[in-house]
Every structure is written in structure tokens, then in C-alpha cells.
Amino acid sequence: MSENSQTSAQSTNANNNSNPTSDTVSSSVPFTLKRWNLVGIWSWDVAHDVCAICRTALSESCLRCQAASNLQECIIVWGTCNHSFHNCCMSQWVKQRAQCPLCQTDWVINRIGQ
Amino acid sequence: MSTPSRLRLMRDFKQLQKDPPAGIAAVPSDDNILIWHAFILGPSDTPFEDGTFRLLLEFTESYPNKPPSVRFTSKMFHPNVYADGGICLDILQNRWSPTYDVSAILTSIQSLLDEPNVSSPANSEAATLYQTNRREYEKRVKMTVEQSWNAEPTLASNLRAS
């Protein structure tokens, strides 16, 4: 899984005279910063996360569902090796061999979901 | 008719057109996307150099969970190619992975040309010559290179028929 991480933090530097650039700010802000929180936002990297079995983006339905015009959302399976595939694609492959098609380690499901 | 296998093969075709590997060409038949015709150009600085070797790939509706059957339709002299053109290559048998595509299959076969695996020979004469008389081996290979330039009538009609 790859992530696009963005962090946004809003903080105002107050009472921090060691930073010369904040001098003008600190003098004009009538409060003290006591705590600040980082907020991480992530999204699927659609351009790169492709199911290596059907070569379709994991954010889209697999080819099997597309061929069957199955409008239900196709779910994703992660192995303990951290490789992810469409659950439909992987469930077909494990009938042949219970190994991750990318790293050839024994396939153990870590998580199934969106 | 659109099936997962046929859709995947169309993706393989688009990928080949977008990013064609050096010395490799492949197209599906006009009337059946499960049958592909391919060419592999013999790699430079090898006895196979300049050979234009033809192959036939036959996929099933189990692709990519099962590998295609792949054979040379050009006459080959190679330790891992059977007399009928069949190829002994682990990734086309027990080491197959559904992440391979047409491009990966053909590049693997291309590199097999100059890196034969003599421990499991499909052509024992080629394997023996490769190990004991490299000059004679290369002479025999170069004969197949020259033959590959002439599309034999039988091969050409096979290609059209399939």
C-alpha cells in the first residue's frame, strides 16, 4: 500500500523569543500556544496501486467483476507480506498455489476490506 | 465476448504497444485474442544475433492464473527447446505467477536464448554440443538464424491458419 501523506498543522508561535522571525508575531498575538496537533490525510495512490494480477487499479473493480458487470464494489485483500490484490483475483490464484504472486512467500491474509 | 482473460490480454497488448521491449513484437490474431503471434529478435553479441524467431502463444480462459502454451514455430537449435518448438522454461510451468504478462513471457524467452539451462535439456544434442563443442554449437545456431529469415511456406500457412 502506498500513501499520499499530507500533514497540516496550524500553529502560532507565541512567547518564543528565541526565534527572531516570530518576534513581530509574538508581540501581536494575545494568547499562548499550549498544544498543537498534526493531522495526517491519506488517500489511495490510484496512479500506482494496481492489482498485479489483473492490472487494474485497486480503486476500480477487478476485470472479473467488470466482465460480469458486477456493480458491487470489489474488495481488496492484503497479505502478511503487505502485498495487496483484488480479493476476487487472489481467491482465483490461491486455488493454483497459496503463495503471494509477487514475493512467492506463503500467502497468509492480513486484512480484507476497502 | 468479454471475459476476464480477454480483458487482461487487451491490457497486455496495450502495455506492449506503450512500452515495447527491445527486440520483441507480438500481436493477437485478428479473430481470436487467445492466440498470439510473436517475434523475438536474437540478442546482439550472441550466436542468435539477427535471428527473427517466430512463436505462437495459446492462452486459455484461465489466464493469468495459468500460463499460456508457448512454442517456437521457427526451427530452433537450443538446449531448452524441444523438436516441436515447445519450450522448457520454469516460469511457463511450475514457477508461473499470475503477475506475468505477454511482455514478461517473451523477454524471459529472449534471455533464455543465450542463457540455456543445460541441467534440464529438451534437446540433448544441443545441450551436449553447448557443453563440449561450443564452436559446432554456434554453427548450428547460426544455421537456424539464417533459416529464420525465410518464412517457410508450411510455417507461414500455419501462422495464417491459427
In this structure, the number of other CB atoms found within 10 A of the CB of residue B58 comes to: 14
Q: Is residue A104 part of a domain?
A: yes
Mean pLDDT, residues B28-35: 94
* pLDDT higher than 50, residue A14: no
Distance from CA of A66 to the nearest CA of B (A): 8
pLDDT class for A107, splitting at 50, 70, 90? very high
Mean pLDDT, residues A23-40: 79
Active-site residue, B78 included: no
* pLDDT higher than 60, residue B92: yes
So what's the architecture of B2-147 in CATH? Answer: Roll (3.10)
CATH number where A73 lies: 3.30.40.10
Domains of chain B, residue spans? 2-147
ipTM of the complex model: 0.80
Q: Is residue A90 part of a domain?
A: yes
Mean pLDDT, residues B146-151: 85
> Which residues does chain B have within 8 Å of residue A67's beta carbon, measured at their own beta carbons?
2-4, 6-7
How many CA atoms, within 13 angstroms, populate the side-chain half-sphere of residue B159?
Answer: 21
Using the beta-carbon criterion (under 8 Å), do B99 and A66 form an inter-chain contact? no
How many separate domains does chain A show?
Answer: 1
More confident residue, B149 or A4: B149
> Which of A51, A53, A77, A107 to mutate against chain B (most B CBs within 10 Å)?
A53
Using the beta-carbon criterion (under 8 Å), do A101 and B101 form an inter-chain contact? no
> Which residues does chain B have within 8 Å of residue A66's beta carbon, measured at their own beta carbons?
4, 7
The residue segments making up the domain with residue A102 are 63-113
CB-CB contact of A71 with A40 (8 Å): no
pLDDT class for A24, splitting at 50, 70, 90? low
Q: Is residue A84 part of a domain?
A: yes
pLDDT digits (tens, 9 = 90+) for A48-75: 589 999 999 888 889 989 888 876 778 9
Q: Is residue A87 part of a domain?
A: yes
Distance from CA of B141 to the nearest CA of A (A): 35
Question: What is residue A4's predicted lDDT score, i.e. its pLDDT?
Answer: 43
What is the rounded average pLDDT for all residues in chain A? 77
Q: Is residue A69 part of a domain?
A: yes
Using the beta-carbon criterion (under 8 Å), do A55 and B8 form an inter-chain contact? yes
Between positions 10 and 39 of A, the ones with CB within 8 A of B are: none
Identify the bridge partners of residue B53 per DSSP, sorted by sequence position: B40
HEC assignment per residue over chain A = CCECCEEECCCCCCCCCCCHHHHHHHHHCCCCCCCCCCEEECCECCCCCECCCCCCECCCCCHHHHHCCCCCCCCEEEECCCCEEEHHHHHHHCCCCCECCCCCCECCEEEEEC
Question: What is residue B43's predicted lDDT score, i.e. its pLDDT?
Answer: 93
DSSP B89: -
Q: Is residue A33 part of a domain?
A: no
pLDDT digits (tens, 9 = 90+) for B57-79: 999 999 999 999 999 999 999 99
* pLDDT higher than 80, residue B22: yes
Using the beta-carbon criterion (under 8 Å), do B8 and A54 form an inter-chain contact? yes
